[in-house]
Amino acid sequence: MSTNFIASAAELEVIKQWLKKVAGLAASTVVEPCLPQSKSFLKILGVFYWNNNSLLPITQTQVESVIANTPIFEGVVLASCPRIMKVSPSSDMSVIWIDI
């Protein structure tokens, strides 16, 4: 289906019935069509990889805590846990990806 508008509940029901017919599924088989969802992410650069100059890297919990206490992220809901990656083996910096 190609459209510039969001499908209505009635249109989703038509798609559901059509899928059952084409796939030869029984009426009792559960098929739930859904609309695609956009996905956004935030990439944060220049964060120290090591936790307070120790040999332990920063953790997802620490990143989530900072995000929760930062006014710019007020109302932002994380879609998944932050991903932390060291920039290179010899670097002390990291890149953090956050799905929002």
Please tell me what DSSP assigns to residue 58.
Answer: P
Question: What strand order describes the sheet that includes 41-48?
Answer: 41-48, 93-99, 83-86
Kindly report, residue by residue over 58-96, the tens digit of the pLDDT: 999 999 999 899 998 888 888 889 999 999 999 999 999
Predicted confidence (pLDDT) per residue in 23-64, tens digit: 887 777 777 887 777 778 889 999 999 988 788 999 999 999
H helices present in the chain, as ranges: 9-23, 60-68
How far lies 28's CA from each of 13, 15, 16, 34, 96, in Å? 14, 16, 12, 18, 45
Residue 30 Cα to chain centre, angstroms: 26
pLDDT of residue 74: 87
Which pLDDT score is estimated for 59? 94
Q: For residues 100 and 60, give the distance between their C-alpha atoms in angstroms, rounded to a whole number.
A: 15
Token couple for 59:
């953790």
